[in-house]
Amino acid sequence: MADKTFGNDFDHNITIRFFRRWWKLLIWVFVIALAASVAISLLITPRYKSTATLFPTNSNRLSKAIMDYHYSLDFMDYGIERDCEYCIQILSSESMERDVCKRFNLMEHYGISPEDPHKMFKLHEQYRGNVNVKRTEYLGVEVSVLDVDPQWAADMANFIATNYDSVCHRIHHDRAVNAAEIMDGVCQKLGNEIALLQDSLRHHPEQSLGLTQLINEKCKQLADLQTRAAQTEVDMNENVSYKFMLDQAVASDKKAYPKRSIIVMLGTFGSVVMCILALLLLDATKKEETLEPKEDKA
């Protein structure tokens, strides 16, 4: 009866024989991979990271905050989670990207040729790879920028945080202009209706009760609409900040990328592991080739 073995029956002698056979080659691979990883890590241009932190304000309308006494929300409050998400969306928008690319001439800074047919795609990918916007734990927003020039990275981060007000103002202004045009048309229509009713009242005094009530209702609608139009004009011409600036970005004196120690470690040990796997596969292939003739003979 054959003996049965229990537990771990791994034969360590096979491993020892493997390393005795290939130790010189593995050492050479280790040395070459180490030298190559160090050289590659030194060739990578270091990039510096700068971060600006801001808190979005409450997204309430300024006109309501200063003109409506019954409005309970304060325009100067810190923003809630909804306002934080709005802020992240605006800071990550293509409108913001266009402003930053134009302000810093990023196509030239990133070395993208104006004649390249894919220049806009490459510019977009470079920008998205170097600019990151994320929410902090306490509903703040961080704008981080990576660049080979530490001062350039700080200037870009500060510009993005500052330009947030400009983008918000453009959005609110465009919407307020559309609303003002609509309300202006409605006000003119109500004014014409009131003028017709007043003319009818002069010509038909016997209908004064009904016509007077109708005129009063139209006048009340016109007054309410004119109040809203005044609020919209405030929103259209406002020039206020939509954020509380917490920390401005400063030029970093320490690189953020690359992490040379990690590159060297992963490159070196990754090469050694790949070499070991290749040698194991080679030994397995040789064993199969030596077994095939015996099987044919049998």
Long-range contacts of 24-31 (CB under 8 A, 24+ apart): 25/275, 25/279, 26/272, 26/275, 26/276, 29/271, 29/272, 29/275, 30/268, 30/271, 30/272
Whether residue 25 lies inside any domain: the answer is no
19 in a domain, yes or no? Answer: no
The sign of the dihedral angle between the CA atoms of 159, 164, 166, 171 is positive
- 187 domain-assigned: yes
* More reliable by pLDDT, 292 or 4: 292
**In-domain check, residue 11:** no
Quote the pLDDT of residue 297. Answer: 47
The band of 201, judged by pLDDT with boundaries at 50, 70 and 90, is confident
HEC per residue, 153-164: HHHHHHHHHHHH
- Nearest Cα to 276, choosing from 17, 19, 12, 14? 19
Q: Which domain holds residue 185?
A: 48-247
**Whole-number Å distance between alpha carbons of 286 and 25:** 18
Report the distance separating Cα 220 and Cα 213, nearest Å: 11
CA distance 268 to 246: 43
CA angle 68, 74, 80 (to 5 degrees): 135
Q: How far apart are the first and last CA of the chain?
A: 26
Model confidence pLDDT, tens digit, residues 16-66: 887 888 888 888 988 898 888 888 877 778 889 999 999 888 755 555 555
Computed over every residue of the chain, the mean pLDDT equals 80
Structure confidence at residue 251 (pLDDT): 92
Nearest to 169 by CA among 103, 234, 256, 229: 234
Average pLDDT in the 102-122 region? 92
Return the H-helix or E-strand segment holding 244: strand 243-247
pLDDT for res 107: 93
pLDDT value, residue 212: 80
Q: What pLDDT band is residue 237 in, cutting at 50, 70 and 90? A: low
Spatial separation of the C-alpha atoms in residues 77 and 60, rounded to whole Å: 9
For residue 85, being part of any structural domain is answered with yes
CATH number reported for the structural domain that contains residue 156 in this entry: 3.30.1890
Which range has highest mean pLDDT (102-111, 178-187, 226-235)? Answer: 102-111
In a domain, 32, yes or no: no
Mean pLDDT over 257-266 rounds to 78
Q: How many domains would you assign to the chain?
A: 1
Report the percentage of the chain scoring pLDDT > 70.
81
pLDDT > 90 in the chain, percent: 27
